Amino acid sequence: MDIIDKIPGVIGYATVRADDGAVEETKGSSATDLADLTAYFSSAGEVIKNNLDLGEVRFVSLHYGSNQLVIVRHGDRFIGLEIERGKDPLQIIKQLETPVVIEQPPITVPRSLSMKIQQINLLIDEFGGENEREHWFDLLNQSLGLLGREIAPVIGVVENRLAFKANPPAEKEDEYNGALRYIVDFLVKKAVEEMGSSQARAKVQTVIERMR
């Protein structure tokens, strides 16, 4: 489902099997339990559809806070997409159903932000090594889920790298810088907790050297 990672406005998603509701994948920076919500409301939607003889239901939409969950049937699974409130679910679904190159303006990121993105990706490389990358991406997504709701949909993991999925507003450069500094501090703190201060410090120093 790599196409989902590239859709601007998608904060996170979960996929569950349509036959038994088993969770297949949960990904993104949502602070909500998307897997449980997707499993529950996809099942409930099917029951309501059948009992009321509604015919084909294209999607189910659930609003909460500043976001909304859109659940859509995709082959033999249901996909729950948490998107920014105000985004058109049909446009998101159209991009999901048409696996083509998503046309969007070129993304231009100020150097101060691109350097922070590079630093975070290098920290993931160093902390994760060859065997623990999935764990560190889980921690990265955890930190993204704690960011402001205006920031989280714009920054995400795309093809196993942290990246901007849309142009950050120029007037909010400082806000994004602060968010990225928070992610750096979060990851370094976790590294100290898991591998000790000496090893964590050595890996951080390696990142600093690589960025010169």
Write out 77-136 in H/E/C secondary structure: EEEEEEEECCCCHHHHHHHHHCCCCCCCCCCCCCHHHHHHHHHHHHHHHHHHCCCCHHHH
Token pair recorded at residue 63: 């609003």
> Where on the phi/psi map is residue 68: left (φ > 0), alpha (ψ -120 to 50), or beta?
beta
Domain 2-97 superfamily per CATH? Dynein light chain 2a, cytoplasmic (3.30.450.30)
Can you give the pTM of this predicted structure? 0.57
Rounded distance, CA 101 to CA 39, Å?
A: 29
Instruction: Give the pLDDT confidence of 97-110 residue by residue, as tens digits.
Output: 765 454 556 788 99
What's the confidence (pLDDT) of residue 193?
A: 96
Q: Does 9 have pLDDT greater than 90?
A: no
Query: What is the Cα Rg of the chain in Å?
Result: 19
Q: What residues does CATH 3.30.450.30 cover in the chain?
A: 2-97
Ranked by mean pLDDT, the top range of 17-26, 82-91, 190-199 is 190-199
Contact 72, 59 (CB under 8 A): yes
Lowest pLDDT segment from 5-9, 66-70, 161-165 = 5-9
